[in-house]
Amino acid sequence: MSAAVSNFPIIAIITFFLGAFLIALIGRLNKVLRNVLVFISVTVPLVLMCLLIKPVMTDGQIVAYWMGNWAPVSDWAIGIGIEVDALGLFFGLIVTLAAFVSALYSFTYMNRDDSLENYYTLFLMLSGALLGLTQSGDLFNIFVMIEIMTMTIVALTAFRVDYDGALEGGLKYMVVGSIGSTCLLVGIAMTYRQLHTLNLAQIASKLPGNMNAVTIAAFAFLLVGFITKASLFPFHPIEADAQTVAPASISLMISGVITKCGVYGLIRVCYNLFQNIDAPSVEILITGFGALSCFICVTMAFNQHNFKRLLAFHSISQVGYVIAAAGLGTALGLNAGLYHAMNHLLFKGLLFLCAGAVEYAAGTLDLDRLGGLSKKMPKTCALFLIGAASISGLPPFNGFASKWLIYQASFEKGVSSGNFYFVVICVICLISSVLTLASFVKVSQSVFFGQLNPEFEDTKEVPAAMRIPMWILAVLCIVTGLFPNQVMKYVTGPAANAAINVGTYIDTMLGQNTAAEYGIASQATTEIGKIGIWSPVSWLLLLLIITCAVCLVSVIEDPKKTTEEERFEYNKSKGRIAKFSRDGFKAAGKELPEAENAPAEEYDKPGHHRNPVLSGSTMTFTGERDPKYEVFFSGEMPEYSQVGGSDLFWGFKHSWRRYFSYWRKWHSGIVNDYVLYGVAALAFVLLYAVLFV
C-alpha cells in the first residue's frame, strides 16, 4: 500500500468540508466562482474514490489511516482511524457519485431559488458527512457524521420554506430522526462500557467473545438506530414527508444515499461487529423488517397523488429489498443486496431527477392534474421510461439483475435452512415487484402519457444541463444491467467478501494475527455464482435480430396515405369544401336541412355551431380540426378527459379498500404518532433481542 493511496479517503472527506467552508465564505460574491468551487469539491472526491477502485476492489487491499498518526499502542486503538475496505469503498462510491450528479443537476435546477450559497454549503457538508460515515473506522465518528448528516438534511429539506409542508417535513425528520440518533448513542455507550474501545476493528475482534445481556441490548439499540437511518417500516413516514418537500436534488441524496448509510451501518453491525448474522433469529428479524417495508411501502405508493411522494415510498420499498437480501446472511444474499443498493441509487436518482424536471417545467407534481407531457418533454420522457423500466425490474435493465439475485438468494436460503419463512420473503419480493411496476405504469400514464391538460400547453423541455446528469444515471442503469456478471465480479463481489471476511479487516487495522488471537477465523474468499443463466447481451442481440426480421416483413409498401393537409387540399380542389351555413350551402350542391336555418347565435350552442363540410368521402366540420385524427370519443367532440392519477387500478383498489383505509389512518401525519411507532419498534426489537438473540 503506497502512502499516497492511504491518504485518499481523508483528502476526499476534507475536500467536501473545505468546499463547504469556502462557499460559506465567498459563495456570496460571485455566482460562477461558487459553481466552480462546488464542481471542484464534488469532482475531486469522486476521482479519488475511483482511483481507490484498483487497489481496494481489484487487489483486495484495505486502506488504513490513523488520524494524526495515532497508531495503536499495545494493541489498543487510541486514535481515530479511517479504514476503507471494499464495502466502505462501495458505499463511498455511491456517495460521491450521488453528490456529483446532484450538484451537476442543482446548477440549473436550483437557479430559481435564492441564498444558494447556503444550499451548497449544506449540501457539501451533507456529502462530506456521508462520505466520512462510510470511510470511518471508528464507531463514535460514525455517530458524529450521522449527526452532521441529520442536521444538514433537516435544513435542506426545509430549504424551500415557501413550499407547503417543507418546514413540517424538516421538523418531523428531526424529531423522529433523533430517536435513531439517541438509540445509536445509547448503543455506542453500552458497547464502549463493555469493551473500552470505539475502534470498529477492535470491537469486531473483542465483541464476539464477550456477548452478554448488555451487548445484546447494545446490538438492539444500534440496530434500531440504523433502521431509523434506513427509514425502514415504522420510521418510513418521515422519509416520505421529507423527500416530497425537499428539492429533487436533495430527494436524490435522501433516497439514494442517506438510506444507504443505514444499510451500510446494518451490514457493518451485523456482519462485522457482532458477527451474529448467521443466527437464525437475527436473520428473521432483519429480513422481516426488510420485507415488511418492501410490501407496505409499495402498496402505500399506489395511493399517492404526488409524483415525488410516490417515489419516496418506493425508495423505502427498494431499501426494504436491500435489507431483506442483506439480512439473509449468505454471500449471494449480501451480493444481491449490495447490487440492488447500487441500482437503487441509479434508477431512483434518475426518477427523482425526472420528477424535478417535471416540476421545473410544469410547476406541479400533482398526478391528478398532469398528463400527456411526453409530447412536450420527449427527452425527459425517454429518461423516465429507462428509470421506470429499471425499478420495475424489466430485463435487460439493472433492476432485473439484482431482483433476480434477490429471489434466487432468498429461495435458496429457504431451501437450505428448511425455513418456509424465507420462501414467504421471496414471494413478498416477487409480488412487490409487480406492484412497483403497477405504480410506475400509473406515473407514466398520469404524467407523461394520456391527454395533455390544457393548463400545461406551453410546457417546455428542460435545459440540456439538467438532462446531462440524468443521462449519466441512465447510461449507468443500462450498463450495470447489461453486464451483471462483471458488476458482480468487480464491484459487489469484493464488497460482499470484504463484509464477510472480518478477519482481514481486523488484521489490517491492528496488525497481523490479531484476529486469530481472538479466535476469529479468516474466511476464504467465497466465489459467488454468476448469473450465467441470464445473459442480457446475447438476449439483446437476439431481440435485435428478431425485431429486424419482423421489420423486414412489415416494411411492405404502404398504399399512398393521405395526411390531414392533403385531405383538405384534395377536397378543396374538388370543390367539396363547402359550408353548410345559411348563405353558402348551395356550393355543395345539396339542400340544407331546415333545422340548419336556425338563427346565427344558435350555431354557437353546443351541438349546433359545427357546420358539416364534405371532406373525402365523408364529411368533416369547419370550426374543428379534422376528426379523423382526433382520439375516438364515441363520436363526441374531443375534450380533455384524462384517465390517470387516482382513476387507475380500480378493481385492485376496490378489493383492498379495507387494507388501504387502515394504512391511511396509520399514516396520520401527526409527529407524536410517528414517535410512538418508533418507540414501539425499539421496544419490540429490544424484547426480541433479549428473548431470542
Partner 1 sequence: MQVLLVAFHILVFPGLLFEILMGILLLGTCNKLVARMQNRVGPPIIQPWYDFLKCCGKETIVPRAANRNIYLGIPYVGLGIILSTALFIPFAGMKLVFGQSDLIVILYLLTFVSVCMIIGAAASSSPWAGVGLSREMVAMISYELPFVFVILAVAREAGRGTEAGMTFSLADIVAYQQTNGSFFLHPALIPAWIAMLFVIPCEIGMHPFDVAEAETEICEGTLAEYSGKPLAAFKLTHCVKLFVMTSLFAAMFCGGINTGIPVLNVLIVILICFAVMFVSMALPHGACARFKTEQVFRFYWTFVSGIALVGLILVWCGF
Partner 2 sequence: MFQNLIDKSMKKSPWLFHINAGSCNGCDIELVSVLTPRYDAERFGFHLTGTPRQADIVVVSGPITMQSRDRLIRTLAQVPEPKCVVSLGSCPRSGNVFKGSFAIDGPLEKYTHVDVSIGGCTPKPEAIVAGLAKAASILEEKRKAMRKGGIEAVRKMEAEAEKPDAETSGSTADAPAGEKAVKEAK
Stretch that binds partner 2, among 158-166, 300-308, 502-510, 613-621 (CB under 8 A): 613-621
**Residues 566-585 close enough to bind partner 2 by CB under 8 A:** 570
Q: Is 244 in the site for partner 2 (CB under 8 A)?
A: no
Element (DSSP H or E) covering residue 359: helix 331-362
Which region among 190-198, 369-377, 589-597, 654-662 touches partner 2 (by CB under 8 A)? 589-597
Which range of residues in 68-76, 245-253, 609-617, 655-663 is near partner 2 by CB under 8 A?
A: 609-617
The number of helix segments (H) and strand segments (E) in the chain equals: 27, 4
Considering only residues 611 through 670, tell me which ones interact with partner 1, judged by CB under 8 A. Answer: 625, 628-634, 638, 641-644, 647-652, 654-655
Q: Does position 634 bind partner 2 by CB under 8 A?
A: yes
Restricted to residues 547-586, the positions that interact with partner 1 (CB under 8 A) are: 547, 549-551, 554, 556, 558-559, 561
Q: Of residues 345, 620, 644, 678, which one binds partner 2 by CB under 8 A?
A: 620
Asked whether position 171 contacts partner 1 by CB under 8 A, the answer is no
How far is CA 484 from its chain centroid?
19
Touching partner 2, residues 520-559 (CB under 8 A) = 556-557, 559
Binding partner of 64, given partner 2, partner 1, none, CB within 5-8 angstroms per partner class: none
Q: Rounded to whole angstroms, how far apart are CA atoms 143 and 125?
A: 15
Residue 74 touches which of partner 1, partner 2, none (Cβ within 5-8 Å per kind): none
Residues 335-394 touching partner 1, rule: CB under 8 A, are 372, 374-375, 378, 381, 385, 389, 392-394
Residue type, 280: P
Cis geometry, peptide bond prior to residue 599 (ω within 30 degrees of 0): no
Q: Are strands 618-622 and 611-615 parallel, antiparallel or unpaired?
A: antiparallel
Considering only 209, 454, 532, 593, the residue that binds partner 2 (CB under 8 A) is 593
Q: Is the dihedral of CA 61, 62, 68, 74 positive or negative?
A: negative
* 594 contact, one of partner 1, partner 2, none, CB 5-8 Å limit per kind: partner 2
- CA distance readout (Å), 567 to 335, 557, 628, 686: 61, 20, 10, 76
427 part of the interface to partner 1, by CB under 8 A: yes
Q: Are 219 and 274 in contact (CB under 8 A)?
A: yes
In order of 296, 348, 583, the CA distances from 387 in angstroms are: 22, 7, 58
Beta carbon of residue 640, minimum distance to partner 1 (angstroms, whole number): 10
Q: Which of residues 517-546 bind partner 1 (CB under 8 A)?
A: 532-535, 538-539, 542-543, 545-546
User: What's the CA gap between 396 and 403, in Å, rounded?
Assistant: 12
337 binds, among partner 2, partner 1, none (CB under 5 to 8 A by kind): none
Q: Which does 534 bind (CB under 5 to 8 A by kind): partner 1, partner 2, none?
A: partner 1
Q: Which stretch binds partner 2 (CB under 8 A): 59-67, 265-273, 382-390, 625-633?
A: 625-633
- Closest CA relative to residue 350, chosen from 319, 383, 377: 383
Position among 617, 658, 665, 672 found at the interface with partner 2 (CB under 8 A) = 617
612 binds partner 2 (CB under 8 A): yes
List the one residue from 562, 597, 661, 668 that touches partner 2 (CB under 8 A).
Answer: 562
Give the length of the chain: 693
Q: Which is nearer to partner 2, 607 or 651 (CB)?
A: 607
Q: Which is nearer to partner 1, 541 or 680 (CB)?
A: 541
For residue 463, CA distances in Å to 43, 109, 355, 378, 469 come to 22, 9, 14, 12, 11
Cell of 328: 439473509
> From CA 393, how far away is CA 536, in angstroms rounded?
13
Distance of CA 317 to the CA centre of its chain: 9
3-state class of 384 per DSSP? helix
Residue 603 interacts with partner 2 (CB under 8 A): yes or no? no
Establish if 50 lies at the interface with partner 1 (CB under 8 A). no
Q: What are the grid coordinates assigned to 676, written together? A: 410512538
Element (H, E) at 98: helix 86-109
In this structure, are residues 486 and 399 in contact, taking their beta carbons and an 8 Å threshold? no
- Separation of alpha carbons 150 and 144, rounded Å: 10
What is the full DSSP assignment across 464-488?
HHHHHHHHHHHHHHHHHHH-HHHHI
Nearer to partner 1, 184 or 377 (CB): 377
Give the residue, chosen from 14, 78, 211, 441, that forms a contact with partner 1 under the rule CB under 8 A. Answer: 441
Binding-site ranges for partner 2 (CB under 8 A): 556-557, 559-562, 570, 590, 593-595, 607, 610, 612, 615-621, 626-628, 630, 632-637
